[in-house]
Amino acid sequence: MTFFAFILIFTSALLHATWHFMVKQSKPVHAMFIPLSAANWLFTFIFAATARFSLTGQSPDIFLYAAGGGVCGVICNLGLSHAYRTSEVSLAYPLARALPVVLTMVITAASGLGKPLSAAGVLSMLIIFAGCLIMPLDSFRKIKKSDYINRSLPGIICAAVGTTGYTIFDSMGVKAFITNNPQIPGWHAPLAYSNIRESFLFTALVLTVLAVRSERKSITLSLFTSWKPYCAGIFSGTAYALVLAAMPMVTNVSFVQAFRQISLPIGLLLGVLFLHEKCNLPKVSGLFLIVSGLALSVIK
């Protein structure tokens, strides 16, 4: 991973933790992600419109990757909305981020995507995974089944599967888009691809919400009662565009997935300071492991 890629992912992590915090504050329903996605689409459309490329001139695989990334993004958002309604952000967020670290590593290794990880690289991923796992604990003395198996678990699993899916699809999609459009500057192409991907995400999200009767009732409330979803959408779009820009700069997308966990200390700090959530020894220990794993992946 280049130093510039690290800066991009670190900046993305700041924005990522901030928009998750804003979503949690809003007690999210599924429909709340419609204005969030709309703001995200409008933001990236500016770059797509100025990129000077033709949609009809793109290879079919780009649209397949974008569709896969968009659908997985919806799965992730629906999972997060459930998890954040039923647990603290400092508990649900680490678990939703833990599983994709290992899942992405396993899938990329099994499918041969990217350069194989070294032993130190694999160890760093496992340390980060362990750090994410222990953060939700109330105490090391009393580890309860309910620390992991509770009402938020289905949402956490959905969010983890969705995150893994869109990371892999979009890694392939943005690289294919850059190859197919060499005339677009390197920093501009990921934002243009992001708009295509967001078009699929927005469409899939609207269809999903309309299909659920209880969610249809909350559409108007989500669209017109708060500015937070729109602001969160801009933060979300910027954060993920930075991740997409960093993807071509790494040898294996697993490193991108791992480094995004740097948003956990930021999310914990926001949860403690503004939502008055607990900060205990497991959380601090988990953060130490995450930082250690990230450091190991750098010096591997």
Q: pLDDT by residue (tens digit) across 70-81?
A: 999 999 988 888
CA distance linking residue 94 with residue 264, whole number of Å: 7
The reported pLDDT for the residue numbered 195 is: 92
Please give the pLDDT value at position 149. Answer: 78
Distance between CA atoms of residues 248 and 263, nearest Å: 21
Residue 27's closest CA among 90, 89, 74, 76? 89
Tokens 């899916």 map to which residue?
A: 165
CB 135 within 8 A of CB 94: yes
pLDDT in tens, 103-158: 888 888 888 877 787 888 889 889 988 888 887 787 888 777 777 778 888 999 99
> In this prediction, what percent of the chain has a pLDDT beyond 90?
20
pTM above 0.95, yes or no: no
Per residue in 204-260, pLDDT tens?
988 888 887 766 666 665 565 667 777 877 888 788 888 888 887 777 777 777 777
Q: What is the pLDDT of residue 29?
A: 65
Q: Please state, in angstroms and rounded to a whole number, the distance separating the CA atoms of residues 19 and 12.
A: 11
Give SS3 for 112.
Answer: coil
d(CA 223, CA 4): 37
Q: How many CB atoms lie within 10 A of CB 253?
A: 23
Between the alpha carbon of residue 265 and those of residues 8, 160, 271, the distances in Å are: 17, 18, 10
Q: Which residue has the higher pLDDT, 27 or 228?
A: 228
Query: Can you tell me which residue has the tokens 């995004």?
Result: 260
Supply the mean pLDDT for the chain. Answer: 82
